[in-house]
Structure 1
C-alpha cells in the first residue's frame, strides 16, 4: 500500500518516525518528525504497519546529513539523520512519556536529560563476525567481487549474511585499523571465513575492547584448532599493535556465544582495567561492562546522587553485574550487597571489590526471582536503600512484589528501557511515590536512553 504527502508526527518505536493515516499507526524507517513523504508499507502487524520512504517532499528541520557510509544498511545508529540536540530532546520526551503514558504514574520532579558530549567513537566494545557470504550493497554485483568474504556486522534480519565494514564510528578509530588489518591479513593468507549455515571455515569472530586510558584488548575467536594459522595471525596482530591484552578462543559450537567457552591469553595481560567514579574495575573477554564509560560515570553519578547514601545505610544492588554500582555505593554506605544471576560476573565483582580495598561488600549469585526473598533479607539485614538495574525486560513480577512487601524506605531504579521501567513503577505506585526522574543518553545516534528514578515510601 502506498501513501503520498504524509507528515511524520513524532519519534516512535525502535527509532522509527510515526505517522497516522485514517486512524492507523504507521512506523516509518529512517524518517524524522516534520518530514513530508511518500510511503510504501513493507510490513503489517495487528496494531501498526511498517513503511519505508519512497520520496521526501519536505525535509524536517531536525535533519542533517548522515556521516557514516554504512548508514541505512547496517541497521545501527538509526538516528544519524537527526541533529544531536534534537536526538537528546526526543529521548527526554520519550522517557517522560513512558512514565506518564505507559506507567500512568506521577513524577514530582523531572530533571533534564544528561546529554552526551562525545557523539562518535564512544563505545569500549565491538564484536564483528567473519562470513564467507557477504551482503551486497546496492551498488555491487556478485560478478564484480573477487571473493565473498566479509568481516563486519550481521545484515539486519539475516543471520547468514554479513556486511563488510570499512569504517565504524562507534569505537575509537584504532578499532577500525585493527579490524581492517585482521581482515586483510586473512584474505592475503587464504584463511577460510566461517560459513554460518554449513558451519565450516576457520575465522569466526573478532571482539575489541578498549579503555579511556587507551589500553586495548583484542580477542580472536576461531571455529576450529589450526595451530599454525592461529599462531601466525596472533603473532602478526601482536607485532602490528602490541595490545595490552591479546586473547583467543576456539568455539566449535553451532552458535556464536562464548560465555561457556575458554579464552586463552596469547600475549600481554589477560584483562584490561577501567576506572569509573574513582574506582578500578578489571575487564576480561567475557565481562559485562557499560559500553560507554564516559556516560556510565554520569549515569552512576545520577543514581548515587538520587540514593543520597548515608554512612549508616545498608544498600542492596539488584542485577549488579560485575559490581560497579555496588562498589561505588560501598564507598558511602555501611554495607552494600550485590545480586546477579551470572556467576562469572559475581566472581568478577568480588575481584573488583578486592582491587579497591572494599571490605563492606557482599555478593550473591542467583536468579533474582528465586534468591531475593525472606531468607535473603534475614541473612543480609534490613535495607535502607535498594538500587535496581535490571535488563531490558525489567524486573520479574516476583521481585516487584517482594519490593512492595519489604518496603525499603528508598528505591533507585536504573533502567535501559523506560517502557518496562514504567510498567514496574505502576506496580509499585500504591506503595511508593516517584520523587525524581532523569534520563541519561548512553548511546548517541540511536533511539536508546537510560532513565533513573528515585522512589520513596508514601
Structure 2
C-alpha cells in the first residue's frame, strides 16, 4: 500500500478456509485475504494492514456472523501470546482443517493420490499435554492496552513468551495451559523471588542482566527437571536462587543451571551444572525407557509420540528380519522403539550429543541391535555407507520442518529401499519431497496425527512402497518447488 494511504477495508467477507499459518482465508474482489483470528464460516468486516502482489493480510474490525466452529478461548493470553492460535475454534473443527491441510498439500503440490488417507488421530488431551516449556526472562515486559510504562525495573520485568514479531518483548505469563502442574507454580515462584531479590532480568538488546531463561521438563514417570539459565549473575545470586528453588520444590528430580553469556539462547554448546540430582530424567514408552538430558530432543507430546511411533512401526510391517535405516534419529527414540521388531537399526543424526543420547538409550534398555552415527545426512548417507552397512529393507525418515535436503532425497532414490516410512511435521515440505520420490514409489498409506492441539501444526506419516522399476523409465530430474502460502491460497 502507498505510504500514508488509508488501509483498504472490505465488508461481509466470508471466511472459506484456514491457511498453514493459522489465519483464516477469504476473498474480496478476487483478492485473497489472510485474516488474523478468523475461523472458517465467519462473516467479517476486515482491514488490510499488509498488501502483497496476490494477497493481503488483514484483521477483523467487525464480526458480522460467527462460524459454527467458533468457540470462546480459554486462555487470558490468547491473541497476544504467539502460541495456541486456534483456541477460538472447536477441537473437532481443528482436526477437520488439519486433515484438510495434509490432503491439500499432498494432492495439490505433490499430485499424490490421497484416497489412502486415514482419519486424523486426535490428541487424548488438548490441554497440559507438553512435557517441555522454555520461558524467557526480560526487562522489557509487553504492556497490554491501558498499561503505562514505568521506570521501576521490577514492574517492567517479565518471565514468559516472546511476542510474535517483537523479539525484544516478553509477555509475562500468569497461567499457561500447555504444561501440567507444578510448571506454572515453579515459573511464578521463581519470577516473584527474583523480583524480591531485585535480580536483573535479561536485556536482549544490551546483552545485560542476571537471569536469561527457564526450562521445565516433566515426564510420564513423574520425574521433573528444572534448568535456570543465567547470564551475568553473581555467585551469590546463583546460590540464592538455586537454593530457593531446591527448598521450595523438593519434588524436582534434576535441578540444573547454565551460565550463557553468548548473544543467542542456544544451550547446546554450554556447560551444564547439576545443583541437585542427576543431569537427566526418564521417559517411558511401553517397556522402553529413555534418558532425557537438558539438551536432549524428545517429542513434547509424549502420549501422542508413542502413537506416532506405533503408526510408523505398523506402516513398515516388520517381520523381524529387516535392516532399517532411521534417518534424523535424534536421541534414537524411533530406532530404539522399533529395534525389538527388526534385525538391526542404523540411526543417523546431525547433532553429536543426540547420538550419544541414542547410544545411552540403547544401553539402558539392553538393546544390542542398534548403531548410531553423527554427521550431516547428505554427507553420511553415501554409497560407501550403504555398502558398509547393507541395503536397508525399510527407511524411516523424520526430518525437521524444512524437510529433507535435495541430495538426501536423491540418495533415497538411488538406494531403492523397498519401503520408506516418511514422518513429517510439515506436510508442505513433505509434499515437495514426494514430488521426486513418487517417480519410484507409490504412496500407499497416509496418516495425519495431531500432536499440538490449538495450533496449526500437524504430523503426518506416509508409507511409500517401491514400484516395479522394470515397467517404466525414470525421468532424469524433477525440480523440488518451494511450497508457500501463495501456492496454497490459489
TM-score, structure 2 length as denominator?
0.92
Question: Which residue is equivalent to 1:311?
Answer: 320
Counterpart CA distance in 1 for 2:115 and 2:103 is 12
Counterpart CA distance in 2 for 1:430 and 1:133 is 52
Counterpart CA distance in 2 for 1:65 and 1:114 is 24
**1:8-407 → structure 2 map (5 Å cutoff):** 8-143=15-150, 147-242=155-250, 243-407=252-416
| Unaligned ranges ≥5, structure 1 | none
Counterpart CA distance in 1 for 2:86 and 2:271 is 37
Counterpart CA distance in 1 for 2:286 and 2:53 is 46
Counterpart CA distance in 2 for 1:420 and 1:179 is 36
Counterpart CA distance in 1 for 2:22 and 2:143 is 24
What is the Cα deviation at residue 373 of structure 1? 0.9
Counterpart CA distance in 1 for 2:292 and 2:20 is 33
Contact 2:211 2:233 in 1 (8 A): no
Q: Secondary structure at the match of 1:362?
A: strand
- The aligned length equals 458
Q: Secondary structure at the match of 1:354?
A: helix
Q: Secondary structure at the match of 1:301?
A: helix
Q: Secondary structure at the match of 1:325?
A: helix
Contact 1:107 1:433 in 2 (8 A): no
CA-to-aligned-CA distance 1:56-91 (integer Å, 9 cap, x gap): 010000011000000000111000000001111110
Question: Which residue is equivalent to 2:5?
Answer: none
Counterpart CA distance in 1 for 2:326 and 2:150 is 56
Counterpart CA distance in 2 for 1:381 and 1:182 is 52
Q: Secondary structure at the match of 1:33?
A: coil
Contact 2:442 2:464 in 1 (8 A): yes
Contact 1:353 1:361 in 2 (8 A): yes
What is the Cα deviation at residue 224 of structure 1? 2.3
What is the Cα deviation at residue 358 of structure 1? 0.7
What is the Cα deviation at residue 45 of structure 1? 2.6
What is the Cα deviation at residue 22 of structure 1? 2.0
Q: Secondary structure at the match of 1:392?
A: coil
Counterpart CA distance in 2 for 1:455 and 1:308 is 12
Contact 1:125 1:171 in 2 (8 A): yes
CA-to-aligned-CA distance 1:93-124 (integer Å, 9 cap, x gap): 11111110111112451111001110100000
TM-score, structure 1 length as denominator?
0.98
Counterpart CA distance in 1 for 2:146 and 2:307 is 42
Contact 1:194 1:203 in 2 (8 A): yes
Contact 1:108 1:434 in 2 (8 A): no
What is the Cα deviation at residue 362 of structure 1? 0.5
Counterpart CA distance in 2 for 1:82 and 1:278 is 37
Counterpart CA distance in 1 for 2:223 and 2:361 is 18
What is the Cα deviation at residue 166 of structure 1? 0.5
What is the Cα deviation at residue 330 of structure 1? 1.0
Counterpart CA distance in 1 for 2:433 and 2:161 is 34
CA-to-aligned-CA distance 1:325-380 (integer Å, 9 cap, x gap): 01112111000000000000001100001111111100010101111110110111
Contact 2:130 2:179 in 1 (8 A): yes
Alignment RMSD, CA only?
A: 1.1
Contact 1:315 1:329 in 2 (8 A): no
Runs of 4+ deviating beyond 4 Å: 143-146
What is the Cα deviation at residue 278 of structure 1? 2.3
Counterpart CA distance in 2 for 1:68 and 1:225 is 33
| Unaligned ranges ≥5, structure 2 | 1-7, 468-490
Contact 2:20 2:101 in 1 (8 A): no
Contact 2:138 2:170 in 1 (8 A): yes
CA-to-aligned-CA distance 1:259-282 (integer Å, 9 cap, x gap): 110111000121000002321101
